[in-house]
Structure 1
Amino acid sequence: MTTDATPLIWIDQPTDLDKLVETLLRHSCLAVDTESNSLYAYQEQVCLIQFSTPEADFLVDPLRLKDLSPLGAVFADERIEKIFHAAEYDLICLKRDFGFTFRHIFDTMHAARILGRREVGLASLLKQEFGLQLEKHYQRADWSQRPLPPAMLDYARHDTHYLIPLRERLAATLQQKGLWELAQEDFERLTEVSVPTVDLSKGPDWNLAQRYNLSPQQMAVLTALYAYRDEQARLANLPHFKILSNEALLELALALPKSPRDLSRLGILSAKQRERFQEGLLATIREALTAPPPLRPRNGIPDEAVLARLEHLRRWRKQMGRRLGVESDIVLPRELMERIARENPAHPDELARIMRNTPWRFKRFGGEILHVLQEANFALAHP
């Protein structure tokens, strides 16, 4: 199995994109992947979309093409199975940047997890199934650079080229083991993944105040330092960690340096960082020391009964996962487990309503889940 004889087609013109869409719509399954620039930009974006069919590999350039909406018909077509590896991140990125909707996907990583595989990275699976050695050298590369060097083009095509035969192997095993319906309900849930609201200017986690015994004024300084870093990252179009690390900001808030000498003695910033940010950091600390301390946000903490039911369900799914040879979230996904603990169903019909999107799990585990809830509620009533 090799890519040498397979055409590699670069798509960066609208007419070529239209032809690609016509080609993809003729297939019953195709492989998809994306590459982004999360390590190189303040706000990441999709920089490459890869497609593979049995006949060819395609690389679509979203940085050159201004309108990718024709691809929407492919992603939304129920007849075409779109094969991803670790689909969730790709789906989030494609929804966020282009507003696509998705129907009928297959996730080779999740399929491997359902089958109890321990090594589920693409390189590991391809080695297990086909004896292939996949190069991962460009995993952290800057995909926004143009032109992309030949080695990166070759790397990109390999992320989709083998997904169709890999899907065939995993699908056959899922069906053989009676897990096909479970996989399908998870793939359907994946298509509904929502784009999280990401506030890049968000301040520090308030748990740090307790963990490091920060005074209210030190917390004010740390909050101000986060805001300063965010401003610098936005101006430089770089991710936060390429400006200053969270650890460096925390040490500054703990030490509260007042002069360039104090800052230098700490030894936490490079010479280049001191040259670029020394004045701004010291000014930020001075201003924050005279500002009112920030108010701790109120978090909605579940009541004790919900937490108790949640703990019983966690223990049960962990035991069931060990029995089945899979990770515990395959037995019961976290969001579903938390909802069950909150709503506390007492009757099969109530649990069926909560689990309407996971019918395989309801049929397989519904009785045990209700029993676990009964035990948890009994323990609460008889402490």
Structure 2
Amino acid sequence: MRKYQLVTTQKDLCRVVEELNQEVVIGVDTEANSLHAYQERVCLIQISTSQADFIVDPILLEDLTKLKSVFENNKIEKVFHAAEYDLMGLWRDYGWKVTGLFDTMIAARFLGWNNLSLASILWEKYSVRVDKKFQLSNWAERPLIKEQLFYAQLDTRFLLDIRDSIIKEFVCQDQWLEIYEEFDRIARASCRKLLCKSPQDFWKISGARSLPSKNAAVLFEVYKYRDKIACRLDVPPFRILRDHVIMVIARECPTNKKQLGNIRDISARQVRLHYKGILEAVSRGLVAKHPDKPKRERVDQLTRDRYQSLKLWRKNRAINRGVSSDVIVAKEILWDLAVLNPVDYEGLKLVKDLGSWRRKTYGKDILRILQASIDRQY
């Protein structure tokens, strides 16, 4: 196993960028601290070429501007495995719109591979075992130990070889058009998915919408308390109280420390540290104005029927091909088709992210299914 190169100075970064600009394909991965911080950040950027493995340290390097030219250069192919999370982080922290994407996990899914995790692929193809305990590392802490850096290196060391193996399995030009269209869709979608935190996010907790109004008001206040403490301590909110615990608090509305301590899954330590704040939040919620429940977009039965018909068609296409259903068409695109209900190929062009390859390949089937749903109305 070749030795990685740790990049911690601007001088080293300039040298690495010069090398990367000479490449046509590189492997990329990132490590973040989502399990350890209120607002996660990119903590490592691993980059591999056919000859070297670089580990760039954004914690020690304040300015990564020079790397932008590499990531936004469409002539340099960037090979990720399960790129979406990495792309979101690079966009969030640095404003980089990564181009020239090749995602080995997506490609493997399109080929019908059974084991898709990078750890499984490394073991099956290279007899390399990944120590998964480092997935839980706080990657923002310094110094990192050599075992952590070795783990980080493994995330990109074999990506170019995996890419080459995948390329050998593609048998026709049609598959190339399909897969690269999907890469482009993922790259665009990753930049759209970033959302700012909002107090109204408490409605996203499982079961929140079904609470009586009084209890929803309590949940809102406890949620805000949890978020305030998490922000102050710079830890993820779940480290303060997990979602299902604050749901139970909202349902039971404890009014004293003993009642709070009797709630299932709340620890004695959590009670000791937070009982005053939680009980005050419950008290505020009990007298607060009831929060307005977000209105669900009303969907008529015909749209639901179209969606179900398209899902059945997608399922059968996937079975025949030996792949997962969303390889055929992603769920959100299927829903857009059901809602917009296009009647011709021009209408299909209005469906966001359907793409020219899928329009050409599946357009006739899709229009037939949608037309059949119209015929059933009469």
TM-score of the superposition, structure 2-length normalised? Answer: 0.94
Q: How many residues align?
A: 375
> What stretches of structure 2 of length at least 5 have no aligned partner?
none
Letter in 2 for 1:276: L
- Taking the aligned partners of 2:263 and 2:133, their CA distance within structure 1 comes to 35
> 8 Å contact 2:205–2:243 — kept in the other structure?
no
Distance change (3 Å), C-alpha of 1:297 and 1:47: same
Aligned counterpart in structure 1 of residue 294 of structure 2, from 280, 290, 297: 297
> 8 Å contact 1:135–1:155 — kept in the other structure?
yes
Shift of 1:16: 1.1
Letter in 2 for 1:119: N
Query: Where does residue 242 of structure 2 map in the other structure?
Result: 245
Query: Where does residue 90 of structure 1 map in the other structure?
Result: 86
Letter in 2 for 1:58: F
Bigger mean CA offset, 150-159 vs 338-347: 338-347
Bigger mean CA offset, 343-352 vs 94-103: 343-352
Instruction: Say whether residues 1:49 and 2:48 are aligned partners.
Output: no
> 8 Å contact 2:208–2:247 — kept in the other structure?
no
Q: Percent identity?
A: 34
> 8 Å contact 1:171–1:180 — kept in the other structure?
no
Shift of 1:177: 8.5
Instruction: Say whether residues 1:153 and 2:152 are aligned partners.
Output: no
Distance change (3 Å), C-alpha of 1:110 and 1:368: same
Instruction: Say whether residues 1:373 and 2:362 are aligned partners.
Output: no
Q: Name the SS of the counterpart of 1:330 in structure 2.
A: helix
Query: Where does residue 284 of structure 1 map in the other structure?
Result: 281
Query: Where does residue 202 of structure 2 map in the other structure?
Result: 203
Query: Where does residue 36 of structure 1 map in the other structure?
Result: 32
Query: Where does residue 168 of structure 1 map in the other structure?
Result: 164
> 8 Å contact 1:309–1:377 — kept in the other structure?
no
- Taking the aligned partners of 1:210 and 1:109, their CA distance within structure 2 comes to 35
> 8 Å contact 2:310–2:334 — kept in the other structure?
yes
Q: CA RMSD in A?
A: 1.8
Shift of 1:352: 4.4
- Taking the aligned partners of 1:327 and 1:337, their CA distance within structure 2 comes to 14
TM-score of the superposition, structure 1-length normalised? Answer: 0.93
- Taking the aligned partners of 2:70 and 2:299, their CA distance within structure 1 comes to 42
Instruction: Say whether residues 1:11 and 2:10 are aligned partners.
Output: no
Q: Deviations over 1:288-325 (max 9, x none)?
A: 11112111122323333322211111111011111111
Query: Where does residue 181 of structure 1 map in the other structure?
Result: 177
Aligned counterpart in structure 2 of residue 134 of structure 1, from 130, 133, 141: 130
> 8 Å contact 2:202–2:208 — kept in the other structure?
no
Distance change (3 Å), C-alpha of 1:295 and 1:352: closer
Distance change (3 Å), C-alpha of 1:215 and 1:155: same
- Taking the aligned partners of 1:248 and 1:209, their CA distance within structure 2 comes to 12
Query: Where does residue 65 of structure 1 map in the other structure?
Result: 61
Shift of 1:206: 7.5
Letter in 2 for 1:162: F
Letter in 1 for 2:202: G
Distance change (3 Å), C-alpha of 1:356 and 1:277: closer
Q: Deviations over 1:137-183 (max 9, x none)?
A: 21121101101000000000000000001000001112459522211
Letter in 2 for 1:57: D
Query: Where does residue 327 of structure 2 map in the other structure?
Result: 330
> 8 Å contact 2:32–2:40 — kept in the other structure?
yes
- Taking the aligned partners of 2:278 and 2:180, their CA distance within structure 1 comes to 52
Query: Where does residue 107 of structure 2 map in the other structure?
Result: 111
> 8 Å contact 1:206–1:296 — kept in the other structure?
no
Q: Deviations over 1:107-163 (max 9, x none)?
A: 000000000112200111223333433332211211011010000000000000000
Letter in 2 for 1:64: L
Bigger mean CA offset, 177-186 vs 42-51: 177-186
Aligned counterpart in structure 2 of residue 342 of structure 1, from 321, 325, 339: 339
Instruction: Say whether residues 1:272 and 2:269 are aligned partners.
Output: yes
- Taking the aligned partners of 2:167 and 2:299, their CA distance within structure 1 comes to 39
Letter in 2 for 1:269: I
